[in-house]
A = this chain, B = another copy of it.
């Protein structure tokens, strides 16, 4: 079971509306349960670095099955998973803005948002999750 394009675009739309509301241009990406990109948009003037980070936040959430901010707390120095940020081709993001997408407790993909502060990124991603 994996997320389809139609649902992915609805989630992206929800995150984008929230980003417009708070006035911060974002990049929003959705991957499927295999970690492969389904859809991505970059709002005008969004940070260039966010093109990569948004996608990798989505990838991380699907690949690790937890939100990226939760992964971050156990990946700091002297914590159990310190070093995981360079695993898997350096695609693992350990700060907030990535969330697994679930249906009946099964991970069907991941969403990643990047462009503002971590809190803003998370707020936009959560707006998408509410649409799911």
Does A22 make an interface contact (CB < 8 A)?
no
Contact yes or no, A43 B83, CB < 8 A: no
A18 on the B face (CB < 8 A): no
Other A-B pairs, 11, CB within 8 Å; known A4-B44, A84-B95: A5-B42, A5-B44, A36-B42, A37-B42, A37-B51, A39-B41, A48-B62, A53-B87, A77-B78, A85-B86, A90-B90
Contacting residue for A49 out of B37, B63, B90, B96, CB 8 A: B63
- Provide the bound-state CA to CA distance between A33 and B45, in Å: 11
Confirm or deny: A40 has a beta carbon within 8 angstroms of a beta carbon on chain B: yes
A76 to B38 Cα, complex, angstroms: 30
Q: Are B34 and A36 touching (Cβ within 8 A)?
A: yes
A contact residues vs B (CB 8 Å cutoff): 4-6, 9, 32-44, 47-49, 51-53, 56, 60, 62-65, 72, 75-78, 80-90, 92-96, 117-118
Q: Which of chain B's residues have a CB closer than 8 A to the CB of A35?
A: 34, 36, 48
